[in-house]
Structure 1
Amino acid sequence: MSITKAIILSAGQGSRLLPLTRDVPKCMIDFNGRSLIGWQVAALVANGVTDIVVVTGFRTERVEDHALQLYRDTGARIRTLFNPFFQVADNLGTCWIAREEMDRDFIILNGDTIVSPEIVARLIAGASAPITVTVDVKADYDDDDMKVNRDATGRLHAIGKRLLPPDTNAESIGMLAFRGEGPAIFRNQVDQMMRTPEGVERWYLRAIDIIAKGHAVGTVSIEGLPWQEVDFPQDVEAATVLTAQWVEAANKV
Structure 2
Amino acid sequence: MQAVVLAAGKGTRLRPLTEDKPKGLVEIDGRPILTHCFEQLADLGAEELLVVVGYRAEDIIDHYGDAFEGVPIRYAHQERQLGLAHALNTVEDLVTDDFMLMLGDNVFRANVEDVVRRQRESRVDAAFLVEEVPEEEASRYGVCNTNDYGKITEVVEKPEEPPTNLVMTGFYTFSPAIFHATRLVQPSDRGEYELSDAIDLLIQSGRTIDAVELDGWRIDVGYPEDREEAERRLQNAVERTASHV
Please classify the TM superposition score into its range, dividing by the shorter chain length: 0.7 to 0.9
CA shift in 2, pair 1:55/1:250, >3 Å: farther
Instruction: Please name the residue that 1:158 is paired with.
Output: 154
Query: Separation in 1 of the partners of 2:56 and 2:237?
Result: 28
Are the counterparts in 2 of residues 92 and 200 from structure 1 also a CA contact under 8 Å?
Answer: no
The residue aligned with 1:96 is 89
Q: Which residue of 2 aligns with 1:219?
A: 211
Cα separation, partners in 2 of 1:250 and 1:55, compared to 1, 3 Å: farther
The reply to whether residue 57 of structure 1 matches residue 54 of structure 2 is yes
Instruction: Say which SS state the counterpart of residue 80 (structure 2) adopts.
Output: coil
Unaligned 5+ segments in structure 1 are none
Q: Do the aligned partners of 2:53 and 2:77 also contact (CA within 8 Å) in 1?
A: yes
> How far apart are residue 192 of structure 1 and its match?
2.2
1:69 shift after superposition: 8.0
Aligned to 1:85: 80
- Pair 1:170 & 2:163 matched: no
Q: TM-score, normalised by structure 1?
A: 0.85
CA distance 1:52–1:199, shift in 2 (3 Å) = farther
Residues in 2 aligned to 1:51 and 1:13: alpha-carbon distance in whole angstroms: 24
Cα offset, 1:246, TM superposition: 3.7
TM-score (norm 2): 0.88
Name the structure 1 match of 2:6.
9
- Percent identity over paired residues: 24
Paired residue for 1:119? 111
CA distances 1:114-154 after superposition (whole Å, capped 9, x unpaired):
113x4321211223311112101234242212211111211
Matched AA of 2:39:
A
Partner of 1:110: 103
Instruction: Tell me the number of residue pairs that the alignment of Structure 1 and Structure 2 aligns.
Output: 238
1:188-232 residue CA offsets vs partner (Å, 9 max, x unmatched): 1112226x798962221210022112222111111x311110112
Match of 1:245 in 2: 236
In the alignment, structure 1 residue 28 sits paired with structure 2 residue 25: yes
Instruction: Confirm or deny that 1:232 pairs with 2:226.
Output: no
Rounded to whole Å, the distance in 2 between the matches of 1:80 and 1:41 is 14
CA distance in 2, matches of 1:104, 1:199: 31
The one-letter code of the counterpart of 2:151 is: R
Does residue 76 (structure 1) correspond to residue 67 (structure 2)? The answer is no
* Structure 2: tracts of 5 or more residues without a match: none
- How many Å separate the matches in 2 of 1:30 and 1:54? 18
Structure 1 residues 37 and 208, CA gap change in structure 2 (3 angstroms): same
Q: Give me the CA root mean square deviation.
A: 2.3
Q: 1:198 to 1:139 in 2, by over 3 A?
A: closer
Residue 67 of structure 1 contacts residue 79 of structure 1 at CA under 8 Å; is this kept in 2?
no
Map 1:126-165; keep pairs closer than 5 Å.
126-127=118-119, 128=122, 129-142=124-137, 143-160=139-156, 161-162=158-159, 164-165=161-162
Q: What is the one-letter code of the residue matched to 2:106?
A: T
Q: What amino acid is aligned across from residue 171 of structure 1 in structure 2? A: V
Task: Quickly say closer, same or farther: Cα 1:136–1:69, change in 2 above 3 A.
Answer: same
Residue in 1 that maps onto 2:201:
210
Please give the alpha-carbon distance, in whole angstroms, between the structure 2 residues aligned to 1:229 and 1:236: 9
Per-residue CA deviation, residues 12-69 of structure 1 (Å, 9 max, x unaligned), is: 0110111111121111111112110100111111121131111000110111022228
Question: Residue type matched to 2:21 in 1?
Answer: V
Paired with 2:62 and 2:241, the residues of 1 have a C-alpha distance of: 27
Contact 1:25 1:58 in 2 (8 A): yes
Structure number with the higher strand fraction is 2
Check the 8 A contact 1:92/1:199 in 2, yes or no. Answer: no
Output the CA distance in 2 between the equivalents of 1:137 and 1:249.
Answer: 25
